[in-house]
Structure 1
Amino acid sequence: MFKQITTLTDLMQWHQDNALEIGLVPTMGNLHAGHISLVKASLAQNPVTIVTIFVNPKQFGPNEDFDSYPRTLEADCELLKEALAEFENKQLIVYSPKSNDEIYPKGFQTAISVGSMTEKLCGADRPGHFDGVTTVVYRLFKISRANRAYFGQKDFQQVQVIRRMIKDLDLEIDLEMLPISRDNDGLARSSRNQYLSEDERAQALTLPRTLDLMTKILSENSWLNSGVELNKIIETTLVDSRWKYLEILDANLLEEVNENTSEVVIAGAFKVGKTRLIDNRLVKINYA
């Protein structure tokens, strides 16, 4: 069964009539194969999947692409219907709020801030971004009454921030992170990839190729033995102003790697023209 709901009142009425386990896939729409992989994972594990389609104003900075962010609700619904058709006896609810007031009622003033975890990587040059993310995700958790939520590894910092919020606030929801979905050339799928010209897309491949090189080095050596080579790559890479950051952090805490670290995240942000792209690799390590 496929159903589209546009008001909070109607969603609350649906909840009154249903008591099934729910998987939640929060999105801003303009869906691609990466989103659909999350939806299919939820459909496989839950009798009901709620996909939210909401371009969240609170996570965009004043000079970012909120106004121009692609809004393709009709096409998104068709993709979701195709995904649902692969499963029997499942329900898929699309919650696409007809206005911001459905998420943030008039007078809404609360923000959820996770702290130091949000001040690095993407948070370093996007102040307030993660407060907007955690606030909307908390709202969507409560509105959806979901048992599980599905996110992609591409936004790894976001996943870890939301995990921290879930733990700190004792939220009764499980978070599932799925691997990064990639195009054939290795570029991580993103709704913003459509902004890239052919030449810009070729430039953008610098991001995954650099992460692949660093992953290879770290996979073949201990952390201490690979440090000099990795630091050299980072220093020479960041000379290129297209790079916004390139860092290696403890994957669990998003802090500096130490002797207790067993897994790291190699994370990078790369801007081509007006398009900012992010990517990462998770690597198990031996410290020494």
Structure 2
Amino acid sequence: MDLIRTVDGMQDHADVARSKGQTLALVPTLGALHEGHLALVRRALKEADHVTVSVFVNPTQFGPDEDYDEYPRDLEGDRDKLEALGVDVLFAPSVAEMYPYADDEALAGPLSWVEVEHLDQHLCGAYREGHFRGVTTVVTKLFHACKPDIGVFGKKDAQQYVILKHLVEDLLLDIDIVGVPTVREADGLAQSSRNAYLSETEREQATVLYDAVSAAEEAIQGGEQDAQAVVRAMDNILVTAPDGEVEYAEVVDAHTLQPVEHLAPGQDVLAAVAVYFGETRLIDNAFVEVPSA
């Protein structure tokens, strides 16, 4: 497996692979890889001849009070895991490589941004100002650096997944976005690098997120068409975690990410929650098709 740290080096490598007729897949990550990430990698290996995994803790998607400095980093451990799976390239650029003006005080960061409007007004976007602008900007940069035919993303980050699908469609990028279902622990908790921050008690209580979105899915599939009733079903479970502080529990259209009041037969919806345990923020969701009859 090649370790590449520069954009020029990554682009040259991708050009060579393309010249050989290979299909290229990219799995963008923040690193500190766990089984959830590795599931994305395994899917990429099935989808393409050549797989690049990027490890880049992107500063532009972290807010001023978020955990950028503390975010777990383990590049050597990540490298071992990816090499064992047969990944072709680990792309691990520096902040300066991705954002050449990051240290210029007069310019105060990137000169160019990529934004997808409207889809960040609800769910996580309502509470993390600028987060998705940072995501869409860095993913666009990674696409240009790695030149993939396929981008593989986890559906656990549901709002991100939907926004990136719109990004590719709206900007006419010739890239297929593949979504991979959430990988969970045995008790249902979605795997996340932030789970390591939880105390033993918080870890036990954190399963309420999965229980809540499962209750929403069950209610919708059982015929419930009142969105607020579905939200109440989630709230009734979330309140059973005494150490959890609920940020949101919402039901939105799965394509527009806008709130819905009445669930129409055949409609694709997204039931999603975000909960704080101390300083640790966890999210979970369920994509559900409203029954037609």
Q: Relative to structure 1, is the Cα distance of residues 78 and 214 closer, same or farther in structure 2, using a 3 angstrom cutoff? A: same
1:66-85 equivalences under 5 Å are 66-84=68-86
Please list every run of 5 or more consecutive structure 2 residues that lacks an aligned counterpart in the other structure. Answer: 102-106
Look up the equivalent residue of 2:4 and give its one-letter code. Answer: I
Structure 1 residue runs of 5 or longer lacking an equivalent are 85-90
Q: Do the aligned partners of 1:251 and 1:282 also contact (CA within 8 Å) in 2?
A: yes
* Correspondences of 1:35-46 after superposition (within 5 Å): 35-46=37-48
SS of the aligned residue for 1:146 comes to coil
Counterparts of 1:76 and 1:249 in 2: how far apart (Å)? Answer: 35
2:269 is equivalent to residue 264 of structure 1: yes
- Name 2:88's counterpart in structure 1: 92
Question: CA offsets per residue over residues 110-139 of structure 1, 9 Å max, x none?
Answer: 111111111211011110000000000000
Give the stretch that moved more between structures: 208-217 or 268-277: 208-217
Assess, with a 3 A threshold, how the Cα gap between structure 1 residues 16 and 178 changes in structure 2: closer, same or farther: closer
Say whether the 8 Å CA contact 2:230–2:251 is kept in structure 1: no
Partner of 2:124: 122
Secondary structure of the structure 2 residue equivalent to 1:44: helix
Shift of 1:165: 0.9
Q: Distance in 1 between matches of 2:97 and 2:33?
A: 21
For residue 140 of structure 2, what is the aligned residue in structure 1? 138
Give the conservation status (yes or no) of the 8 Å contact 2:208–2:238: no
What are the residue-to-residue correspondences of 1:130-279 with 2, within 5 Å? 130-224=132-226, 227=227, 229-233=229-233, 242-257=245-260, 259=264, 262-279=267-284
Instruction: Report the Cα distance in structure 2 between the residues aligned to 1:133 and 1:74, rounded to whole angstroms.
Output: 24
Deviation at 1:35, TM superposition (A): 0.6
Question: In 1, are the aligned partners of 2:40 and 2:180 still within 8 Å (CA)?
Answer: yes
Bigger shift: residues 48-57 or 99-108: 99-108
Q: Distance in 1 between matches of 2:134 and 2:199?
A: 30
**What is the CA distance between 1:237 and its match in structure 2?**
6.3
Within 1, Cα distance between the matches of 2:179 and 2:211? Answer: 23
| Alpha-carbon distance in structure 2 between the residues aligned to 1:183 and 1:235 | 22
Partner amino acid, structure 2, of 1:251:
A
Contact 1:237–1:243 (CA under 8 A) maintained in structure 2? no
Moved more, 10-19 or 201-210: 10-19
- Name the CA distance, whole Å, in 1 between partners of 2:60 and 2:228: 40
After superposition, the Cα gap between the structure-2 partners of 1:180 and 1:235, relative to the gap in structure 1 and judged at 3 Å, is closer
**CA distance in 2: counterparts of 1:178 and 1:263, whole angstroms:** 17
> What residue in structure 1 maps to residue 104 of structure 2?
none
TM superposition shift of 1:219: 1.1
Q: Shift of residue 286 of structure 1?
A: 3.1
How far 1:15 sits from its partner (Å)? 3.0
Give the C-alpha shift of residue 38 in structure 1: 0.7
1:132 alignment partner AA: G
Measured against aligned partners, the alpha-carbon deviations of 1:65-101 in whole angstroms (never above 9, x if no partner) come to: 00010110000011111211xxxxxx5100001x212
TM-score after normalising by structure 2: 0.89
Shift of 1:12: 2.7
- Quick check: 1:211–1:280 contact (8 Å CA) kept in 2? yes
**What is the rounded CA distance, in whole Å, between the counterparts of 2:224 and 2:232 in structure 1?**
16
SS at match of 1:118: coil
Answer whether contact 1:223 1:286 (CA < 8 A) is retained. no
Query: Aligned partners of 1:253 and 1:231: how far apart in 2?
Result: 18
Number of residue equivalences:
278
Query: Per the alignment, do residues 5 and 272 of structure 1 end up closer, same or farther by CA in structure 2, a change over 3 Å counting?
Result: same
Which residue pairs with 2:58 in the alignment?
A: 56
Contact 2:235–2:249 (8 Å) recurs in 1: no
The answer to whether the 8 A contact 2:54-2:92 is kept is yes
Flag the 1:41–1:238 CA change in 2: closer, same or farther, 3 A: closer
Question: Distance in 2 between the 1:200 and 1:137 partners?
Answer: 32
Q: What is the RMSD of the two structures over their aligned residues, measured on CA atoms?
A: 1.9
Find the aligned partners of 1:58 and 1:248 in 2 and give their Cα distance: 27
